[in-house]
Amino acid sequence: MEEQTWFEKKRADMLVDIQHNCLHSQILVNFDVEDLLKIDEILESFNTPKSKNLDKYHGIELPGIEEELASAITAEAIQVFDNYTMENILNRSTKKEIAFRRYEGEFLGASVSNITTSILFYITKSKPAIDINNVKNCFIIASPIVISVLQSNTTAVYEPAAVGEFKGPNNTILVGHMNGIRVYSYLFEQEKGNMVVVGYNDPETEEHHSQVISIKNLSFV
């Protein structure tokens, strides 16, 4: 009987870690069968003949390296699955475009008001109505530059995340709350860096609804 490789020994743990540490686990209600199959497919793509022997150097066992290899593979798999999750969200979202206008002598916080207003308007008109009890079902996802703009707003309350809250193995992180809505930093492709994704989960249907708000002239910041 052929001996199990380090990958096969760690497969179950890696699958659990991917589900626990990916963006999907933070913003959506649950994993459906398609999601779980996609995670398994992504992880299996790293199970190559070359990777199976990474725990050895010239055929010599390297004790304890399995954990490091599993951690590295898991991080890469999460990055791929996070990208997959975001593409699905973007494809299903309604779209809106707003302009960022900052006039000479105007404070940045005042210029941001139309952005935060658009975000909060989408949340407040959602069905079911969002209140203090279910605001935890809402989320905002934006690039670091957009989040830095949102943090300067004067029309909403922004609170930084507490130490120890969600941090993925890559660059996805819970950075704070805006009027109680969780705000996540995500590294979009450069051409999508001016977007804000705002959404909520319907606890009754377990369906998520979202809108992509594209901000024109953001480079003027």
Q: At 87, is the pLDDT very low, low, confident or very high (cuts 50, 70, 90)?
A: very high
Segment 8-20 shows an average pLDDT of: 94
Distance separating alpha carbons of residues 194 and 150, to the nearest angstrom:
12
pTM (2 decimals)? 0.85
**Domain coordinates in residue numbering, the chain:** 6-91, 93-220
Q: Which of 212, 217, 218, 220 is nearest to 118 (CA)?
A: 212
How much is the pLDDT for 59?
62
Q: What is the DSSP string of 172-220?
A: -EEEEEETTEEEEE----GGGTTEEEEEEE-TTT--EEEEEEEEETGGG
Average pLDDT, the chain: 84
Q: What was the pLDDT predicted at 21?
A: 96
109 pLDDT band (50/70/90 cuts)?
low
pLDDT band per the 50, 70, 90 thresholds, residue 76? very high
- pLDDT: is 182 or 154 the higher one? 182
Which has more confidence, 45 or 119? 45
The rounded percent of the chain whose pLDDT value lies above 90 is 41
Confidence of residue 172 (pLDDT cuts 50, 70, 90): very high
pLDDT, position 2: 59
Query: pLDDT digit string (tens) for 178-187?
Result: 988 999 999 9
Better pLDDT: 108 or 163: 163
Higher pLDDT, 55 or 149: 149
Residue 221's pLDDT is 44
**Of the segments 96-105, 172-181, 187-196, which one has the largest average pLDDT value?**
172-181
- Look at the alpha carbons of 37, 39, 42, 47 in this order and tell me if their dihedral is positive or negative: negative
> Looking at residue 220, what is its pLDDT?
44
